Amino acid sequence: MALIIFDYDGVLADTLHDLIRSGQAACNQLGVRHLVIKEDLSNLEVMSFATFGRACEVPEHLVDEFVKISLNLIAEQETPPAIFNGLTEVIRHLSTHHKLAIVTTNTAQNVHAFLTHHGLDSLIHAVYGVDTPGSKAQKISIAREHFAKNGEAVFMIGDALSDVRAAKEAEVISIAITWGHQSLGMLMRGDPDLLVNYPHELIEVIER
């Protein structure tokens, strides 16, 4: 048995257009004249709503408000984001053999709404969101302390350079996936332990 930790945005949830839309709306509300594009996310060294705001030229004194507006707009959507094709089956399979958790810069509320919508909430042992204090590496370590016993393997699955770096800082196995928000070139700068191109490959690399 292993502990498998997923990032949320870009790994489980197909939120790229939601993030661009909410980021643009937040800029508009704050009077920031910036056209939000994919590269504002994909080029981030550290993937978070705060760094996203800074990439969108939001002044530092308004960054916290940008984060609040963006997260609220996402929470107010009528329907939670889509899940990437194949991941429902992958999560169901992995949950029968392993413990699953999520570490994200989104809110736990948004993540639980997504999981409930897709019938997966009961399969995830814990969600550590932006509302949990600490860095991503610290949250990975908390999850490991709670759920990985007797030296069991711990995997961190992410779509961003900062996910790979957080996994290494927490001394767990990093799995970079290529269907998310960042390019392969950006991911490889972190030298991930494993690279996965399709959801079903997660089962192969974790259980081999």
**pLDDT recorded at residue 150:** 81
Cα radius of gyration (the chain): 16
Tokens of 69: 């507006």
**pLDDT recorded at residue 37:** 96
CATH class (in words) of the domain with range 3-14+82-207: alpha beta
The dihedral built from the CA positions of residue 109, 111, 114 and 117, taken in this order, carries a sign that is negative
pLDDT one-digit tens code per residue, 16-53:
999 999 999 999 999 999 999 999 998 998 899 999 99
pLDDT one-digit tens code per residue, 154-194:
999 999 999 999 999 999 999 999 999 999 999 999 999 99
Query: In 96-175, which residue ranges form alpha helices assigned H by DSSP?
Result: 108-117, 136-147, 161-169
**pLDDT recorded at residue 151:** 82
**pLDDT recorded at residue 17:** 94
Residue 136 one-letter amino acid = K
Residue 131 one-letter amino acid = D
Q: Is residue 142 over pLDDT 90?
A: yes
Confidence at 115, pLDDT banded by 50, 70, 90: very high
**pLDDT recorded at residue 149:** 80
Tokens of 20: 């661009």
Would you mind telling me the total number of residues written for the chain in this entry? 208
pLDDT one-digit tens code per residue, 57-85:
999 999 999 999 999 999 998 899 999 99
110 or 151, which is more confident? 110
In the chain, where are the structural domains located? 3-14+82-207, 16-75
Q: Which of 138, 133, 132, 109 is nearest to 121 (CA)?
A: 109
**Alpha-carbon distance values, 49 to 10, 59, 74 (Å):** 13, 14, 12
Helix, strand or coil, per DSSP, at residue 200: coil
**pLDDT recorded at residue 137:** 97
Confidence at 143, pLDDT banded by 50, 70, 90: very high
